[in-house]
Amino acid sequence: MKDTSGAQVLGRTSWKRLGLVMVPTVIAAGALSIAMANGAIAASFAVSGQQFKLTAGSLTGTGFVQYGTVDHHADGSQFPAAVSAFASADISNLCQSVVTSIPVIGDVTLTIKAGGGSTPVHADNLIIDMSQLNAGEADFTNINIGQDASTLSGSATGAKGTPGLFGQQADKATLTGVQQVAYSTNAGSFQLHDMSLSMSMGNNPCF
């Protein structure tokens, strides 16, 4: 592990009950305005106007990086997002939901669950653009905090930010008790085991 001055620090780092894991508020302020001016767009597609919620018993990934970026809607409007990316990740007890309000019918919730058995959900080249991430505990191995976002490496293909902006990376990250509000997810492969999909009337998100 290295601090922002480049000094070597040994061992692992663990924080409990994180609000937004490893993303300081400075990213969502001045730093992201610079990224917007430079046209740094993370998602490779126009993001819908809806966010989705996700919970997981645990998420264990290698090649972890995190930085701030700017996404865009189909109408061209832009908005800030925090990016977490992994070269490879395993997710247990996954629940993902999105609530849609339909005229006359009302709210309808689409829910997908997977990885509840002995085999977790597995993803390669995973990139998540989000607005919120909570974890009961987060443990990082060999983490660099304050690294230039454009020099991040060892993660999902293309997962790096704008030169001069805040970034961080770790060889491994393990998060438990995960709650996430996200705009989009990209993955080179996404393997869902013991998957179920359901529709229900009302506002019934995963959390």
Query: Model confidence over 78-120: pLDDT tens digits?
Result: 999 999 999 999 999 999 999 999 999 999 999 999 999 999 9
Residue pLDDT, tens place only, 155-202: 999 999 999 999 999 999 999 999 999 999 999 999 999 999 999 999
Sequence-separated (6 or more) residues with CB below 8 Å from residue 127: 42, 83, 84, 85, 156, 158, 159, 185, 186, 187
Domain segments of the chain: what residues?
51-201
- Measured distance CA(198)–CA(156) in Å, rounded: 30
- Measured distance CA(171)–CA(141) in Å, rounded: 6
183 phi/psi in degrees, rounded to 5: -95, -40
Residue 121 and residue 114 in contact, taking contact as beta carbons nearer than 8 Å: yes
Q: Which residue(s) pair with 52 in the sheet?
A: 182
Residue 48 and residue 175 in contact, taking contact as beta carbons nearer than 8 Å: no
Q: How many CB atoms sit inside 10 A of residue 65's CB?
A: 26
Residue pLDDT, tens place only, 55-67: 999 999 999 999 9
